[in-house]
Amino acid sequence: MPVPFLEPERISAMINGNDGSIFSYLDMLSGSAISKGTVFALSIQPYINASIIIQLLTYALPPLESLQKEGEEGRKKLQKITSVTALIISLVMSYGYYFTIRNQANAVKYVNGAEGVFAAVVIIGVLTAGSSLIVWLGNLINESGIGNGISIILFAGIVARIPTDIRTLFRDAQLDNKKYFYILLIAIIEVVMIGFIVLMNNAERRIPIQYAKRVVGRKQYGGQNTHIPVKVAMSGVMPIIFAMAFMSLPQTIQMFAGRPDPQLYDQWTVWQKFYNGLLNFFSTNSVWYALIYFVLIIAFNYFYVSMQYNPIEIANNLRQNNGGIPGIRPGKPTSDFIQRVLSKITLIGAVCLGVIAIFPIFFQMATGMQISMAGTSILIIVSVALETVRTLESQMMMRHHKGFLE
């Protein structure tokens, strides 16, 4: 359902002609809703941005940190703060979307005088309302459905692109019969990639924990052995999203500012030559782009894991509960051991994420065909599917459901 006063054909031409920009990244997450100018064009991106911002601020602002430690009530307050922040971000993104398609694509009807003001208010209001409606639907799924509602909506948006991407692949293959072999190769690669992502999601390093025995009256407490699971892919797709947003900045700047005219190369200033070289350096089909993208994924993975895990806090909690790692002294030696384990596991997970993210880039450079479902899309789809399956299994076990065939 397109937004009133928009011309989807011009919007699609603008976004498809600027591959690698921030809009092509948002179009992937929204299931091509951005390029079609639909009511749900912003999708859940404002809510994702708000969640990331609030999550970062909980480590920087003591009031938000105290709310995080208050249990269920604190979680509800943080949820309200996140929803308000998402509404503000959706308003800002709606205005940016309107401003861009009006100036860059000339895709807004009636942009002069009072009619232009009315069109702007309608477009911004409809886009903001669509984003808020999606967040509301996601919360309904959280309360009455299975799994995380926001993740399932993101999953649905990406899956909705699959038929269009498949048609595009076969249309390109009809122009060159040799590309039918590449389609078969892409199918095999994506099956292998799905298996690799499933293996990576389930892989974990278990740190053994042993609790000391203590006697209170006639009862004995503690003495059991357990472990701390450290998942290889504990950060999920977040490092790729951070790196993708950063790497899309040069292409986004090019979309707004354009490129110098190559026919006037002799008249270019030093700044124009530097600017053109920078755009070539960050081209989505260059080796340097892939290498920088890979390094950023590793860096953001370490950053995200450092926010999720605090080895000092884990070591203090173990000591307070009379627990410890066999062969490791309590206190600082325990925190240092946990930090070393985290660093090794984080590196393995970051390299796996980087390989998944940059493989489609090298495949496109080698064959000239773009993988319809890139590494990021497959990672999101598989992660959400595994999370939903785990939620279903836990619900069945909680209700002692043996299945329909038993």
Residues 42 and 176 in one domain: no
User: Final residue of a domain: which of 160, 191, 216?
Assistant: 160
- Supply the CATH number for residue 186's domain: 1.10.3370.10
Q: Token pair of 72, please? A: 């269920």
pLDDT band for position 199 (cuts 50, 70, 90): confident
Average pLDDT over residues 125-142: 84
Please say if the pLDDT value at position 342 is more than 80: yes
What is the predicted pLDDT for the residue at 256?
A: 63
Q: How many domains does the chain have?
A: 2
Instruction: Give me the count of residues in the chain.
Output: 406
What is the predicted pLDDT for the residue at 260?
A: 67
Q: How many CB atoms lie within 10 A of CB 381?
A: 19
User: Final residue of a domain: which of 137, 160, 183?
Assistant: 160
Q: What is the pLDDT of residues 242-252, one digit of tens each?
A: 777 777 777 66
Q: Token pair of 57, please? A: 């601020």
**3-state secondary structure string across 247-314:** HCHHHHHHHHHCCCCHHHHHHCCHHHHHHHHHHHHCCCCCHHHHHHHHHHHHHHHHHHHHHHCCHHHH
Residues 150 and 180 in one domain: no
Q: Token pair of 211, please? A: 């609790």
Residues 104 and 205 in one domain: no
User: Final residue of a domain: which of 95, 125, 160?
Assistant: 160
Domain limits for position 15? 1-160
Helix (H/G/I), strand (E/B), else coil: 107: coil
Q: 205: which strand partners?
A: 230
> Which tops the pLDDT comparison, 112 or 181?
181
Q: How many CB atoms lie within 10 A of CB 403?
A: 6
Average pLDDT over residues 122-145: 83
Residues 349 and 200 in one domain: yes
What is the predicted pLDDT for the residue at 190?
A: 79
Query: What angle separates helix 375-398 from helix 332-367, to the nearest 10 degrees?
Result: 130
Helix (H/G/I), strand (E/B), else coil: 243: helix
- Looking at the chain, the whole-number percentage of residues with pLDDT higher than 70 is 78
Residues 316 and 201 in one domain: yes
pLDDT band for position 218 (cuts 50, 70, 90): low
Distance of alpha carbon 384 from alpha carbon 150, whole angstroms = 10
Residues 291 and 391 in one domain: yes
Distance of alpha carbon 326 from alpha carbon 228, whole angstroms = 13
Residues 334 and 368 in one domain: yes
Distance of alpha carbon 204 from alpha carbon 229, whole angstroms = 6
Q: Quote the mean pLDDT of the chain.
A: 76
What is the predicted pLDDT for the residue at 255?
A: 63
What is the predicted pLDDT for the residue at 1?
A: 80
Q: Quick one: the chain helix, strand, coil %, rounded to 5? A: 70, 5, 25
Residues 383 and 403 in one domain: yes
> Burial letters for 185-215: b for 16+ Cβ neighbours within 10 Å, e otherwise?
ebeeebeebbebbeebbeeeeebebbbeeee
Q: Token pair of 31, please? A: 């299931």
Residues 281 and 141 in one domain: no
Residues 14 and 32 in one domain: yes
Residues 191 and 337 in one domain: yes
Q: Identify the burial level of 145 via C-beta atoms within 10 angstroms of its C-beta, where 0-12 means exposed, 13-18 middle and 19 or more buried.
A: middle
Please say if the pLDDT value at position 234 is more than 60: yes
What is the predicted pLDDT for the residue at 223?
A: 62
Q: Token pair of 36, please? A: 């079609």
Residues 17 and 127 in one domain: yes
pLDDT band for position 400 (cuts 50, 70, 90): low
Query: What angle separates helix 332-367 from helix 238-247, to the nearest 10 degrees?
Result: 50
Indicate the pTM of the whole model: 0.73
